[in-house]
Amino acid sequence: MSTDTALTVPTRFVEAGGIRFAYRRWGKPGGPPLVFMQYFSGNLDDWDPQVTDGLAAEYDVILFDNAGVGSSGGETPGAVSEMARHALAFSDALGLKMFSVVGFSLGGMIAQQLALDHPDRVNRIILLGTGPRGGEGMTFTELSAEERADPDRFLLAAFFSPTDVSQAAGREYLKRLAARTRDRDLPVTTKAAEAQLHAIREWGAVPSSDRYATLPKIKHPTLVVHGTKDIVVQPVNAFILAEHLPEAQLIMYPDSSHGAQYQHAELFLKHAKLFLNA
Amino acid sequence: MSTDTALTVPTRFVEAGGIRFAYRRWGKPGGPPLVFMQYFSGNLDDWDPQVTDGLAAEYDVILFDNAGVGSSGGETPGAVSEMARHALAFSDALGLKMFSVVGFSLGGMIAQQLALDHPDRVNRIILLGTGPRGGEGMTFTELSAEERADPDRFLLAAFFSPTDVSQAAGREYLKRLAARTRDRDLPVTTKAAEAQLHAIREWGAVPSSDRYATLPKIKHPTLVVHGTKDIVVQPVNAFILAEHLPEAQLIMYPDSSHGAQYQHAELFLKHAKLFLNA
Per-residue pLDDT tens for B246-274? 999 999 999 999 999 999 999 999 999 99
Q: Which residue has the higher pLDDT, A147 or B195?
A: B195
- Residue B88 pLDDT exceeds 80: yes
How would you classify the pairing of strands A60-64 and A19-27?
antiparallel
Shortest distance between the Cα of A179 and any Cα of chain B, in A, equals 27
Q: Look up the ipTM and state it.
A: 0.96
A266 touches chain B (CB under 8 A): no
Cα angle: B127, vertex B132, B133; to 5 degrees: 135
Contacts of residue B143, Cβ cutoff 8 Å, sequence gap at least 6: B40, B197, B200
Contact B242 A251 (CB under 8 A): no
Contact A235 B246 (CB under 8 A): no
Beta strands in chain A, from DSSP E residues, in sequence order = 12-16, 19-27, 33-37, 60-64, 99-104, 122-128, 222-227, 248-253
Contact B251 A246 (CB under 8 A): no
A231 touches chain B (CB under 8 A): no
The strand pairing partners of A248, in sequence order, are A222
The model carries a pTM of: 0.97
How would you classify the pairing of strands B122-128 and B222-227?
parallel
Q: At B126, phi and psi to the nearest 5? A: -115, 120
- Residue B146 pLDDT exceeds 90: no
The strand pairing partners of A35, in sequence order, are A62, A101
Q: What does the pLDDT look like over B48-73, one tens digit per residue?
A: 999 999 999 999 999 999 999 999 99
Among partner residues B246, B252, B274, which is closest to A255 by beta-carbon distance?
A: B246
Half-sphere exposure of A112 (CA within 13 A, CB side): 30
Largest interatomic CA distance in chain B: 52
Candidates B215, B37, B220, B33; CA nearest to B119 is B220
Half-sphere exposure of A258 (CA within 13 A, CB side): 20
Contact B254 A242 (CB under 8 A): yes
Q: What is the pLDDT of residue B98?
A: 97
Q: What is the pLDDT of residue B238?
A: 98
CB count within 10 Å of CB B144 equals: 13
Q: Which residues of A touch B255 (CB under 8 A)?
A: 246-247
Among partner residues A245, A252, A267, which is closest to B274 by beta-carbon distance?
A: A267
Q: What's the rounded Cα separation, in Å, for the pair B269 and B264? A: 9
B212 touches chain A (CB under 8 A): no
CB count within 10 Å of CB A146 equals: 8
Q: What's the rounded Cα separation, in Å, for the pair A227 and A264? A: 10
Q: What's the rounded Cα separation, in Å, for the pair A204 and A132? A: 8
Chain B residue with minimum CA distance to A272:
B271
> Of chain B residues 2-61, which have a CB less than 8 A from chain A?
none
Q: What's the rounded Cα separation, in Å, for the pair A149 and A170? A: 18
Q: What is the pLDDT of residue B158?
A: 95
Q: What is the pLDDT of residue A131?
A: 98
Q: What's the rounded Cα separation, in Å, for the pair A151 and A200? A: 19
Q: What is the pLDDT of residue A141?
A: 82
Q: Which residues of A touch B252 (CB under 8 A)?
A: 242, 248-250
Q: What is the pLDDT of residue A26?
A: 98
Shortest distance between the Cα of A11 and any Cα of chain B, in A, equals 35
Shortest distance between the Cα of A235 and any Cα of chain B, in A, equals 8
Chain B residue with minimum CA distance to A245:
B254
pLDDT band at B168 (very low <50, low <70, confident <90, very high): very high
Q: Which residues of B touch A239 (CB under 8 A)?
A: 235-236, 239
Q: What's the rounded Cα separation, in Å, for the pair B190 and B146? A: 8
Chain B residue with minimum CA distance to A257:
B243
What number of C-beta contacts closer than 8 Å exist between A and B? 58
Candidates B46, B277, B73; CA nearest to B178 is B46
Contact A271 B274 (CB under 8 A): yes
Mutation for A interface: B230, B239, B251, most A CBs within 10 A: B239
Shortest distance between the Cα of B247 and any Cα of chain A, in A, equals 5
Q: Which residues of B touch A216 (CB under 8 A)?
A: none
Q: What is the pLDDT of residue A114?
A: 98
Rama region for B208: left / alpha / beta (φ>0; ψ in -120 to 50; rest): alpha
Report, as an integer, the average pLDDT of B112-125. Answer: 98
- Residue B2 pLDDT exceeds 80: no
- Residue B116 pLDDT exceeds 70: yes
Q: At A85, phi and psi to the nearest 5? A: -65, -40
Shortest distance between the Cα of A101 and any Cα of chain B, in A, equals 19
- Residue B1 pLDDT exceeds 60: no
A219 touches chain B (CB under 8 A): no
pLDDT band at B143 (very low <50, low <70, confident <90, very high): confident
Q: What's the rounded Cα separation, in Å, for the pair B197 and B106? A: 9
Burial environment of residue B172 by CB neighbours within 10 A (0 to 12, 13 to 18, 19 or more): middle
A248 touches chain B (CB under 8 A): yes
Positions of chain A with pLDDT lower than 50, given as ranges: none
Q: Which residues of B touch A257 (CB under 8 A)?
A: none
Shortest distance between the Cα of A219 and any Cα of chain B, in A, equals 11
